[in-house]
Amino acid sequence: MVRIPEGVVSAIRLTDKEYTLFSNYITDRLGIRMPESKRNMLQSRLERRLRNLGLNVHQYQDLVFGNSPEAEKERVHFFDIVTTNKTDFFREERHFEVLTDSVLPELDERDGRPSRFSYRHWCAGCSSGEEVYTTAMVLSEYAAKRKGFEWSLLATDISTRVLQSAQQGIYAEELIRPVAMPLRKKYMMRGKGSQAGKIRFIPALRKQLRFARLNFMDANYPIDEQIDVIFFRNVMIYFDNETKEKVINRMCRLLRPQGYLFVGHTESLINLNVPLKQLSAAVYQKLD
């Protein structure tokens, strides 16, 4: 999930014109609304980057908004510094129960192939990976009970920083408190020496995952497969309705007929023109 916090104080003071240029660019490129309340946060994040580069605000604008190869590289860093990612293991746990108790059995029965069940899952806006590994454990547990269940999981985010972290599959032990002990023992390795106090997910689980950088504002997403279930949770709260509708429709082009979309419990698709029907709180199904 992408989140931009408020209340951060910085020594940099952006002029109204400078803030408008940056905030409009963030909204245009990432879809994130940037009201005045986000100004302190943006100033603080930029201050750190400008200090590292030895640039002032005007020079940095010239760089970020330029057309050079250096500008394109810097935009990757810019998107990293202006987005904050917040997630947890087994966040909104009810969704994982719905997935295993209802959605997977329904998809399995619909496929009508008792010997084999192939399943494709997309964590859209995967952040630092807690949702990804939660889902991976849930799917692996399902596979242990359903012979012939084959699954793959695609995880995407705009931030290269969090993608690199998620790919490592390394977390502080205090972050895994929501994970039941049997799952910890089965899927995690405890760090030793310099890695004490950390865990890493086992290679057998990590190899099932594919990570890729993706911007929801792109007209087309570089995904060449039909997805059974998309987790797109706690991202849309930063979009206006027009952006929500565009993004959801792009996702639906990749979602198989009667596939499922899960959104955050505080999110809604009301008044959006999208080919989905609501099944329960935050769970939608694509129309035929």
Each residue's pLDDT tens digit, 177-211 = 999 999 999 999 999 998 999 999 999 999 999 99
Mean pLDDT of the chain: 91
Is 237 within the bounds of a domain? yes
pLDDT range class, residue 11, cuts 50, 70, 90: low
Q: Which residues are within 8 A (CB) of 182 and not within 5 positions of it... i.e. 6 or more apart?
A: none
pLDDT of 153 > 80? The answer is: yes
Query: Which residue range(s) make up the domain with 27?
Result: 2-84
Is 228 within the bounds of a domain? yes
How far does Cα 230 stand from its chain's mean position?
A: 11
pLDDT at 9: 37
174 and 110 together in one domain: yes
Q: How far apart are CA 40 and CA 13, in angstroms?
A: 8
Active-site annotation holds for 157: yes
Q: Which of 45, 91, 120, 233 is catalytic?
A: 45
20 and 162 together in one domain: no
**pTM of the model as a whole:** 0.86
Q: How far apart are CA 286 and CA 275, in angstroms?
A: 6
pLDDT at 38: 86
Each residue's pLDDT tens digit, 156-185 = 999 998 999 999 999 999 999 999 999 999
How far does Cα 168 stand from its chain's mean position?
A: 16
Q: How many domains does the chain have?
A: 2
Is 219 within the bounds of a domain? yes
193 and 57 together in one domain: no
pLDDT of 98 > 90? The answer is: yes
Helix, strand, coil % (nearest 5) of the chain?
45, 20, 35
Percent of the residues in the chain that have a pLDDT greater than 90, as a whole number: 69
Q: Which of 39, 120, 157, 228 is catalytic?
A: 157
The stretch 66-94 carries a mean pLDDT of 87
Which of 84, 104, 133 delimits the end of a domain?
A: 84
30 and 103 together in one domain: no
187 and 71 together in one domain: no
pLDDT at 190: 93
